[in-house]
Structure 1
Protein backbone atom coordinates (compact mmCIF):
# COMPACT_ATOMS: atom_id res chain seq x y z
CA UNK A 1 0.00 0.00 0.00
CA UNK A 2 2.81 2.35 0.83
CA UNK A 3 4.14 1.90 -2.71
CA UNK A 4 1.22 1.08 -5.02
CA UNK A 5 -1.09 3.81 -3.74
CA UNK A 6 1.39 6.69 -4.24
CA UNK A 7 2.25 5.22 -7.67
CA UNK A 8 -1.45 5.25 -8.65
CA UNK A 9 -1.76 8.85 -7.47
CA UNK A 10 0.87 9.93 -9.98
CA UNK A 11 -1.84 9.22 -12.58
CA UNK A 12 -3.66 12.21 -11.06
CA UNK A 13 -0.51 14.35 -11.00
CA UNK A 14 -0.24 13.94 -7.24
CA UNK A 15 3.05 13.14 -5.59
CA UNK A 16 2.18 11.73 -2.18
CA UNK A 17 5.09 12.16 0.17
CA UNK A 18 5.22 9.12 2.44
CA UNK A 19 7.99 9.36 5.02
CA UNK A 20 10.02 6.17 5.37
CA UNK A 21 11.97 5.50 8.55
CA UNK A 22 12.45 1.75 8.38
CA UNK A 23 10.15 1.32 11.39
CA UNK A 24 6.97 -0.33 10.01
CA UNK A 25 4.69 1.19 12.66
CA UNK A 26 6.07 4.68 12.13
CA UNK A 27 5.93 4.27 8.35
CA UNK A 28 2.29 3.17 8.55
CA UNK A 29 1.41 6.12 10.80
CA UNK A 30 3.10 8.47 8.33
CA UNK A 31 1.17 6.91 5.45
CA UNK A 32 -2.14 7.29 7.29
CA UNK A 33 -1.36 10.95 8.00
CA UNK A 34 -0.34 11.59 4.37
CA UNK A 35 -3.54 9.99 3.02
CA UNK A 36 -5.71 11.84 5.56
CA UNK A 37 -4.09 15.14 4.60
CA UNK A 38 -4.58 14.33 0.91
CA UNK A 39 -8.29 13.62 1.35
CA UNK A 40 -8.77 16.72 3.50
CA UNK A 41 -7.55 18.90 0.60
CA UNK A 42 -10.56 19.30 -1.76
CA UNK A 43 -8.40 20.15 -4.78
CA UNK A 44 -6.30 16.98 -4.44
CA UNK A 45 -9.20 14.75 -3.35
CA UNK A 46 -11.24 15.77 -6.41
CA UNK A 47 -8.35 15.48 -8.87
CA UNK A 48 -9.20 13.06 -11.65
CA UNK A 49 -7.07 9.99 -12.32
CA UNK A 50 -6.08 10.04 -16.00
CA UNK A 51 -4.63 6.53 -16.48
CA UNK A 52 -4.49 3.08 -14.97
CA UNK A 53 -7.23 1.06 -13.28
CA UNK A 54 -8.74 4.16 -11.62
CA UNK A 55 -8.93 6.21 -14.82
CA UNK A 56 -11.78 8.71 -14.81
CA UNK A 57 -12.35 8.53 -11.06
CA UNK A 58 -11.54 11.19 -8.52
CA UNK A 59 -8.76 10.47 -6.06
CA UNK A 60 -11.37 10.34 -3.26
CA UNK A 61 -13.47 7.78 -5.16
CA UNK A 62 -10.47 5.66 -6.10
CA UNK A 63 -9.29 5.73 -2.49
CA UNK A 64 -12.66 4.62 -1.15
CA UNK A 65 -12.99 2.01 -3.88
CA UNK A 66 -9.55 0.42 -3.70
CA UNK A 67 -7.29 1.55 -0.86
CA UNK A 68 -9.84 1.29 1.96
CA UNK A 69 -11.11 -2.17 0.89
CA UNK A 70 -7.50 -3.33 0.51
CA UNK A 71 -6.77 -2.29 4.08
CA UNK A 72 -9.99 -3.98 5.21
CA UNK A 73 -9.12 -7.30 3.54
CA UNK A 74 -5.52 -7.29 4.73
CA UNK A 75 -6.69 -6.58 8.28
CA UNK A 76 -8.22 -10.06 8.18
CA UNK A 77 -4.98 -11.51 6.77
CA UNK A 78 -2.85 -9.96 9.48
CA UNK A 79 -5.18 -10.91 12.31
CA UNK A 80 -5.54 -14.50 11.14
CA UNK A 81 -1.81 -14.87 10.51
CA UNK A 82 -1.38 -14.23 14.23
CA UNK A 83 -4.19 -16.62 15.24
CA UNK A 84 -6.62 -13.79 16.05
CA UNK A 85 -10.09 -12.84 14.87
CA UNK A 86 -10.32 -9.61 12.90
CA UNK A 87 -13.83 -8.55 14.05
CA UNK A 88 -14.56 -6.83 10.74
CA UNK A 89 -17.71 -4.80 10.12
CA UNK A 90 -20.32 -7.08 8.53
CA UNK A 91 -22.10 -4.28 6.63
CA UNK A 92 -18.86 -3.13 5.03
CA UNK A 93 -17.95 -6.75 4.25
CA UNK A 94 -21.35 -7.23 2.55
CA UNK A 95 -20.82 -4.14 0.37
CA UNK A 96 -17.36 -5.36 -0.62
CA UNK A 97 -18.61 -8.87 -1.32
CA UNK A 98 -21.38 -7.55 -3.58
CA UNK A 99 -18.91 -5.37 -5.45
CA UNK A 100 -16.40 -8.16 -5.91
CA UNK A 101 -19.07 -10.66 -6.94
CA UNK A 102 -20.22 -8.21 -9.62
CA UNK A 103 -16.81 -8.60 -11.29
CA UNK A 104 -17.53 -12.27 -12.04
CA UNK A 105 -14.53 -14.20 -13.32
CA UNK A 106 -12.67 -10.95 -13.86
CA UNK A 107 -11.62 -10.87 -10.22
CA UNK A 108 -9.45 -13.97 -10.43
CA UNK A 109 -8.31 -13.06 -13.96
CA UNK A 110 -6.28 -10.20 -12.45
CA UNK A 111 -4.00 -12.74 -10.78
CA UNK A 112 -4.34 -10.85 -7.50
CA UNK A 113 -6.90 -13.24 -5.99
CA UNK A 114 -7.03 -16.99 -5.69
CA UNK A 115 -9.98 -19.12 -6.72
CA UNK A 116 -12.96 -18.92 -4.37
CA UNK A 117 -12.71 -21.18 -1.35
CA UNK A 118 -15.77 -23.33 -0.65
CA UNK A 119 -17.98 -21.98 2.13
CA UNK A 120 -21.60 -22.52 3.15
CA UNK A 121 -24.11 -20.07 1.68
CA UNK A 122 -25.27 -19.21 5.20
CA UNK A 123 -21.73 -18.58 6.50
CA UNK A 124 -21.11 -15.17 8.08
CA UNK A 125 -20.63 -12.46 5.46
CA UNK A 126 -16.99 -11.86 6.43
CA UNK A 127 -16.27 -15.55 5.87
CA UNK A 128 -18.05 -15.43 2.50
CA UNK A 129 -16.07 -12.34 1.49
CA UNK A 130 -12.75 -13.87 2.42
CA UNK A 131 -13.67 -17.16 0.74
CA UNK A 132 -14.63 -15.27 -2.42
CA UNK A 133 -11.13 -13.80 -2.70
CA UNK A 134 -9.49 -17.17 -2.14
CA UNK A 135 -8.90 -17.19 1.61
CA UNK A 136 -9.82 -20.12 3.83
CA UNK A 137 -12.16 -18.61 6.45
CA UNK A 138 -11.11 -21.33 8.90
CA UNK A 139 -7.41 -20.42 8.66
CA UNK A 140 -5.79 -19.66 11.97
CA UNK A 141 -2.08 -18.92 11.81
CA UNK A 142 -0.21 -18.03 14.92
CA UNK A 143 2.81 -20.20 14.31
CA UNK A 144 5.45 -19.54 16.91
CA UNK A 145 9.02 -18.68 16.02
CA UNK A 146 11.86 -20.61 17.61
CA UNK A 147 13.99 -17.92 19.34
CA UNK A 148 17.18 -19.97 18.89
Structure 2
Protein backbone atom coordinates (compact mmCIF):
# COMPACT_ATOMS: atom_id res chain seq x y z
CA UNK A 1 0.00 0.00 0.00
CA UNK A 2 1.31 3.43 -0.86
CA UNK A 3 2.12 5.95 1.86
CA UNK A 4 -0.58 8.29 0.50
CA UNK A 5 -3.27 5.61 0.64
CA UNK A 6 -2.10 4.61 4.12
CA UNK A 7 -2.43 8.22 5.31
CA UNK A 8 -5.90 8.48 3.78
CA UNK A 9 -6.98 5.28 5.52
CA UNK A 10 -5.60 6.57 8.81
CA UNK A 11 -7.66 9.76 8.38
CA UNK A 12 -10.77 7.68 7.72
CA UNK A 13 -9.98 5.50 10.76
CA UNK A 14 -9.65 8.61 12.91
CA UNK A 15 -13.05 9.88 11.76
CA UNK A 16 -14.44 6.38 12.34
CA UNK A 17 -13.17 6.32 15.93
CA UNK A 18 -14.90 9.62 16.65
CA UNK A 19 -18.19 8.48 15.07
CA UNK A 20 -18.08 5.35 17.24
CA UNK A 21 -17.85 7.50 20.39
CA UNK A 22 -20.73 9.89 19.60
CA UNK A 23 -23.65 9.39 22.00
CA UNK A 24 -27.05 9.02 20.33
CA UNK A 25 -28.26 12.30 21.83
CA UNK A 26 -25.29 14.31 20.46
CA UNK A 27 -26.06 14.04 16.73
CA UNK A 28 -27.95 17.35 16.85
CA UNK A 29 -25.04 19.25 18.45
CA UNK A 30 -23.57 22.28 16.68
CA UNK A 31 -20.14 21.84 15.08
CA UNK A 32 -17.28 24.23 14.27
CA UNK A 33 -18.62 24.14 10.69
CA UNK A 34 -21.10 26.97 10.22
CA UNK A 35 -24.65 25.78 9.54
CA UNK A 36 -23.93 22.08 10.19
CA UNK A 37 -24.87 20.05 13.21
CA UNK A 38 -23.13 16.73 13.88
CA UNK A 39 -25.51 14.76 11.65
CA UNK A 40 -25.10 17.22 8.77
CA UNK A 41 -21.32 17.12 9.13
CA UNK A 42 -21.45 13.34 8.91
CA UNK A 43 -23.75 13.53 5.87
CA UNK A 44 -21.24 15.89 4.22
CA UNK A 45 -18.40 13.48 4.99
CA UNK A 46 -20.41 10.58 3.59
CA UNK A 47 -21.15 12.60 0.44
CA UNK A 48 -17.47 13.40 -0.13
CA UNK A 49 -16.26 9.85 0.45
CA UNK A 50 -19.16 8.28 -1.48
CA UNK A 51 -18.19 10.46 -4.47
CA UNK A 52 -14.54 9.44 -4.08
CA UNK A 53 -15.60 5.78 -3.97
CA UNK A 54 -17.71 6.22 -7.12
CA UNK A 55 -14.73 7.72 -8.95
CA UNK A 56 -12.52 4.84 -7.77
CA UNK A 57 -15.03 2.28 -9.02
CA UNK A 58 -16.11 3.88 -12.31
CA UNK A 59 -13.30 6.24 -13.31
CA UNK A 60 -15.93 8.92 -13.95
CA UNK A 61 -15.36 12.18 -12.09
CA UNK A 62 -18.36 13.62 -10.29
CA UNK A 63 -18.62 16.27 -7.61
CA UNK A 64 -19.67 15.31 -4.08
CA UNK A 65 -23.19 16.00 -2.86
CA UNK A 66 -24.53 16.05 0.69
CA UNK A 67 -25.65 12.49 1.44
CA UNK A 68 -29.33 11.99 2.20
CA UNK A 69 -30.28 11.64 5.85
CA UNK A 70 -30.52 7.89 6.39
CA UNK A 71 -31.87 8.27 9.93
CA UNK A 72 -29.01 6.40 11.63
CA UNK A 73 -25.79 8.43 11.33
CA UNK A 74 -23.50 5.70 12.66
CA UNK A 75 -24.90 3.07 10.27
CA UNK A 76 -24.76 5.53 7.38
CA UNK A 77 -21.11 6.22 8.17
CA UNK A 78 -20.27 2.50 8.39
CA UNK A 79 -21.67 1.91 4.90
CA UNK A 80 -19.69 4.86 3.51
CA UNK A 81 -16.50 3.81 5.31
CA UNK A 82 -16.70 0.26 4.03
CA UNK A 83 -17.54 1.41 0.52
CA UNK A 84 -14.71 3.90 0.18
CA UNK A 85 -12.09 1.59 1.66
CA UNK A 86 -13.12 -1.25 -0.66
CA UNK A 87 -13.17 1.09 -3.67
CA UNK A 88 -9.73 2.54 -2.90
CA UNK A 89 -8.27 -0.96 -2.53
CA UNK A 90 -9.49 -1.83 -6.03
CA UNK A 91 -8.62 1.48 -7.70
CA UNK A 92 -6.01 2.20 -10.35
CA UNK A 93 -3.90 4.64 -8.35
CA UNK A 94 -1.95 5.68 -11.44
CA UNK A 95 -5.06 6.79 -13.37
CA UNK A 96 -4.61 10.39 -14.50
CA UNK A 97 -7.61 12.68 -14.81
CA UNK A 98 -8.86 16.14 -14.00
CA UNK A 99 -10.23 15.44 -10.54
CA UNK A 100 -11.89 17.99 -8.25
CA UNK A 101 -8.70 19.98 -7.73
CA UNK A 102 -7.23 19.68 -11.21
CA UNK A 103 -5.16 17.19 -13.21
CA UNK A 104 -3.32 14.57 -11.13
CA UNK A 105 -3.07 10.86 -10.49
CA UNK A 106 -5.87 9.16 -8.59
CA UNK A 107 -3.38 8.41 -5.82
CA UNK A 108 -2.57 12.11 -5.40
CA UNK A 109 -6.28 12.93 -5.53
CA UNK A 110 -6.88 10.51 -2.64
CA UNK A 111 -4.12 12.33 -0.76
CA UNK A 112 -5.79 15.67 -1.39
CA UNK A 113 -9.15 14.41 -0.14
CA UNK A 114 -7.68 13.11 3.14
CA UNK A 115 -7.85 16.57 4.70
CA UNK A 116 -11.64 16.20 4.81
CA UNK A 117 -11.94 13.19 7.16
CA UNK A 118 -8.96 14.41 9.20
CA UNK A 119 -10.41 17.87 9.75
CA UNK A 120 -13.96 16.68 10.29
CA UNK A 121 -12.80 14.09 12.82
CA UNK A 122 -11.62 17.03 14.90
CA UNK A 123 -14.83 18.98 14.20
CA UNK A 124 -17.03 16.06 15.24
CA UNK A 125 -14.96 15.44 18.37
CA UNK A 126 -15.30 19.11 19.36
CA UNK A 127 -19.03 19.00 18.71
CA UNK A 128 -19.63 15.95 20.85
CA UNK A 129 -17.11 16.53 23.63
CA UNK A 130 -14.89 13.61 22.69
CA UNK A 131 -11.11 13.77 23.08
CA UNK A 132 -9.02 13.47 19.93
CA UNK A 133 -5.32 13.50 19.17
CA UNK A 134 -4.45 14.30 15.58
CA UNK A 135 -1.16 12.55 14.71
CA UNK A 136 1.59 15.05 13.91
CA UNK A 137 2.85 13.13 10.88
CA UNK A 138 -0.65 12.98 9.40
CA UNK A 139 -1.21 16.69 10.06
CA UNK A 140 2.14 17.58 8.50
CA UNK A 141 1.47 15.58 5.32
CA UNK A 142 -2.09 16.87 5.06
CA UNK A 143 -1.05 20.48 5.63
CA UNK A 144 1.48 20.22 2.80
CA UNK A 145 -1.19 18.86 0.46
CA UNK A 146 -3.77 21.52 1.36
CA UNK A 147 -1.16 24.27 0.98
CA UNK A 148 -0.22 22.86 -2.44
CA UNK A 149 -3.77 23.64 -3.60
CA UNK A 150 -3.07 27.34 -3.15
CA UNK A 151 -6.16 29.49 -2.76
CA UNK A 152 -8.59 26.91 -4.21
CA UNK A 153 -9.91 25.61 -0.85
CA UNK A 154 -10.66 29.11 0.44
CA UNK A 155 -11.98 30.37 -2.89
CA UNK A 156 -14.40 27.44 -3.03
CA UNK A 157 -15.23 27.94 0.68
CA UNK A 158 -13.99 24.47 1.55
CA UNK A 159 -12.01 25.98 4.41
CA UNK A 160 -12.29 29.29 6.21
CA UNK A 161 -9.67 31.94 6.81
CA UNK A 162 -6.59 30.76 8.65
CA UNK A 163 -6.33 31.28 12.40
CA UNK A 164 -3.00 32.62 13.66
CA UNK A 165 -1.09 29.93 15.51
CA UNK A 166 2.46 30.31 16.87
CA UNK A 167 5.18 28.83 14.64
CA UNK A 168 6.33 26.63 17.51
CA UNK A 169 2.83 25.25 18.20
CA UNK A 170 2.28 21.51 17.84
CA UNK A 171 1.83 20.41 14.22
CA UNK A 172 -1.82 19.56 14.83
CA UNK A 173 -2.46 23.14 15.96
CA UNK A 174 -0.67 24.57 12.93
CA UNK A 175 -2.73 22.34 10.65
CA UNK A 176 -6.01 23.20 12.37
CA UNK A 177 -5.17 26.91 12.29
CA UNK A 178 -4.42 26.75 8.57
CA UNK A 179 -7.80 25.20 7.80
CA UNK A 180 -9.57 27.81 9.93
CA UNK A 181 -10.06 25.94 13.19
CA UNK A 182 -9.24 27.34 16.63
CA UNK A 183 -7.09 24.60 18.18
TM-score by length of 1: 0.70
Change (3 A) 1:104 1:28: same
Matches for 1:60-99 after TM superposition, within 5 Å: 60-66=107-113, 68-99=114-145
* 8 Å Cα contact 2:162-2:179 kept in structure 1: yes
| 1:72-120 deviation per Cα after TM superposition (whole angstroms, max 9, x unaligned) | 1111111112234311111110111222233343432221111111111
In the alignment, structure 1 residue 6 sits paired with structure 2 residue 50:
yes
Higher strand share goes to which structure?
A: 2
Shift of 1:3: 2.0
- For structure 1, the 5+ residue unaligned runs are 138-148
Structure label with greater radius of gyration:
1
Shift of 1:130: 0.6
Higher helix share goes to which structure?
A: 2
Matches of 2:94 and 2:149, distance apart in 1: 26
- For structure 2, the 5+ residue unaligned runs are 1-44
* 8 Å Cα contact 1:69-1:96 kept in structure 2: yes
TM-score by length of 2: 0.59
| 1:11-53 deviation per Cα after TM superposition (whole angstroms, max 9, x unaligned) | 72389xx9x8531111111111111221232xx4448364441
